[in-house]
Amino acid sequence: MLIERLQKTNLQKELVESNKVLVLYGARQVGKTTLVQEILKGYSGRVLEINADMVPFLEALSSRNLDRLTGLVQGYDLVFIDEAQRIPDIGINLKILYDNLPNLKIIVTGSSSLDLANRVKEPLTGRTWTFHLFPIAVEEWARHHKANDLQAELQLENWMVFGLYPELLTIENTEKKIRYLQEITHSYLYKDILTLANVRYPEKLRQILKLLAWQVGNLVSVNELANTLQLSREAVENYIDLLEKSFVIFRLRGFSRNLRKEMTKMDKIYFYDLGVRNALIENFNTLSTRQDVGQLWENFLITERIKSAGYHFRFANRYFWRTHTGAELDFLEESGGILSGYEFKWGSKTPTAPATWLETYPQATFKGVNRENFMDFIRGK
């Protein structure tokens, strides 16, 4: 089952119109290689496809030597480098290719931010178009299956328990789904971090992830994490930053224009895939037996909103909102000077806007999101 990815059209367009390096980011196993190979099937020029694990290519691509780099790509119209973050100083070497061979098309994928592999800070500034690929988006699933909103609603339990990794959607057996997710979280998830970032205490990284998995939807205290794990605050912040750069987690910051009233010192942290989150806490129980359905629902909706916005280039700043008196909104977007607040409810109940929100931001909008209208929220309507 090959689901058409929404990012495909965006990449195809830039491949034709742009001369910049195209960088496709995304966590391991989300389908980056498959997507680029699908795009290249329709490309008429000569293509050099490079896996970063292939030693002869690795040496040339990390050489900083124009003659060696030219010798590698000579005769090709396009170079595709898969998992480019594994190549030392990949950024500066791509800069050399870009600056000296202007007609060469370059596509690279990375399951971690390329700056983990660069000793030179931001060598590709102004030379790239960056795209992100996430686990399958509900919008992509719905298009593939020509499904209406009700059919999508019937799939919610599967998505919220097992996530939306492409391969996982081809597995029907529950036990095999669990084994697949355990394999990802034990083998693939931190591979780049451990290899590239010289992590001194790998077990601490796993412990931080597990603690963050328990705290989805709640304010995360870095000081509390540091005390629990007997690490410095700086070390914990560094681990969280690495996990963000490997596209495992993302954070929302608190929104404030009234610092005395609103809470902004702690962030909320979410997972790009709920199957990964549930594997970390070893809980694949059905929703009817779980105590964290609200947290799962919140994580699911925010992630799907981010996926759709990224694929359709809907730009916005994203936050949560909470006051010291207890008023809160799950999600907030600021775009074009307009504030839009959202409250999420699992079920059919329609939430109402907190009075404090209406008083503090009378020009802002508010909308409740539940199972009856969640697809509209995901699509940005």
pLDDT score at 350 = 81
Residues 15-42: b if buried by 16+ CB within 10 A, e if exposed: beeeebbbbbbbbbbbbbbebbebbeee
Residue 146 has pLDDT above 60, yes or no: yes
Count CB neighbours of 216 within 10 A. Answer: 21
Cβ pair 134, 104 in contact under 8 A: no
pLDDT of residue 264: 78
pLDDT at 280: 94
Q: What radius of gyration, in Å, describes the C-alpha atoms of the chain?
A: 22
pLDDT-wise least confident of 84-88, 147-151, 317-321, 372-376 = 84-88
Q: How many Å apart are CA 288 and CA 251, to the nearest integer? A: 28
Beta bridge partners of 23: 108, 130
- Report the greatest alpha carbon distance in the chain: 67
Which of 161-165, 249-253, 288-292, 351-355 is least confident? 351-355
Task: Map residue 106 onto helix, strand or coil.
Answer: strand
Could you tell me the pTM of the whole model? 0.93
Structure tokens at 90: 């990949």
Give the per-residue pLDDT at 201.
Answer: 77
For the stretch 185-194, pLDDT in tens is: 887 677 767 7
Residue 166 pLDDT exceeds 90: yes
Average pLDDT over residues 80-108: 91
- Partners of 82 in the β-ladder: 51
Mean pLDDT of 275-292: 95
Is the pLDDT assigned to residue 203 strictly greater than 80?
yes
Phi, psi of 338, rounded to the nearest 5 degrees:
-105, 130
Mean pLDDT, the chain, as a whole number? 90
H and E: helices and strands count for the chain: 17, 12
Comparing C-alpha atoms, which of 305, 272, 273, 296 is closest to residue 379? 305
pLDDT, tens digit (0-9, with 9 covering 90-100), for 105-126: 999 998 887 776 665 557 888 8
Domains of the chain, earliest start first: 7-132 (3.40.50.300), 147-311 (1.10.10)
pLDDT confidence of 82, banded at 50, 70, 90? very high
Q: Give the separation between CA 254 and CA 81, rounded to whole angstroms.
A: 38
pLDDT at site 348:
77
